[in-house]
Structure 1
């Protein structure tokens, strides 16, 4: 559970970056990332609970080799972990990509600051696969701990448990393949919120390119004291 909590912190970091862009694209990405995180975290912790019911432990050093005894749990846990590390075709990838695009196109910060934040986000993207794939290896691969006793009468995932996990995984795949399933529900709201945020920002923070002023426009300006 502690290892999965690391991925939650990483996801929330992308949400903060998306909000801080002050752009429609960034806010859309932040909301999409929150929806994606809710689905991914729910399925991963649900599958963790199933594993605990069979093994009565969450200590990684006491687990191992469960893929043979629990192949269905292993397959769905792998799918959830790949969604969490933003595999293309899943909702985590779309959310993080949208946030990064919003950050890159934001004009609220200096280029050096944007590059620094993007570098830190890239470090998080690299670390996430490391600890999630390591989690899969420690729990499901290798030799089973001799002291680990499985509840044989429970067996692998039951149909009810499978149905619950699939109800969470299918939206993850659906949003990853067609993001408008989620974004169309809040597009108008994010545009309005982004416009309101930019309207209250100091002009020295939001640097917008100035349009060339025509001589006729200058002549039409009222006289100043």
Structure 2
């Protein structure tokens, strides 16, 4: 054994002693964490970098390889965790985008249904208004027809009444014309009856005067005799 080898061997031994508590932390505490836990990965990488640096400095190939392997493993797990996180984030973003797209499609479908419903309601309202307008128009035509019929009936009634009055007038004129000779004869007969009655009355008066004169002469004769 040469002299330079002794200090290096001593340093290796000292590092081995120094690393025991670090390994205990690894075995007792960090091993309880998840394999890809950020704290565990950071600790293992730090331990790997330390092993690699000390092993390289002390010419301890085993320690150096162990450190490199631990560092590489930590980096790989960290990278895997990052990739998983990125994948999860990408998946979440994809899910969010898909949900957004699904919500957009649902909103568009709902808007289309609402627009369709509005179109149907407008069509129903227009049809209802058209029917009401048709009913009002039919009722108006009915009232106009009834008014015209009533007017024609009233005109026919007035015409019939006027014709009846004219006929009555013609009958009165004809009756008057036909009755004129009879009335003249009746008047002549009445006049003659009045004249005969007057003559009879005068004859009665004359006769009464004559009787009175006779009675007077008889009375005078009786008184003179």
TMscore range, shorter length: under 0.3
Bigger Rg over Cα? 2
Higher helix share: 2
* TM-score for the superposition, normalised by structure 1: 0.27
Relative contact order (alpha carbons < 8 A, sep ≥ 6): 1 or 2 greater? 1
* TM-score for the superposition, normalised by structure 2: 0.27
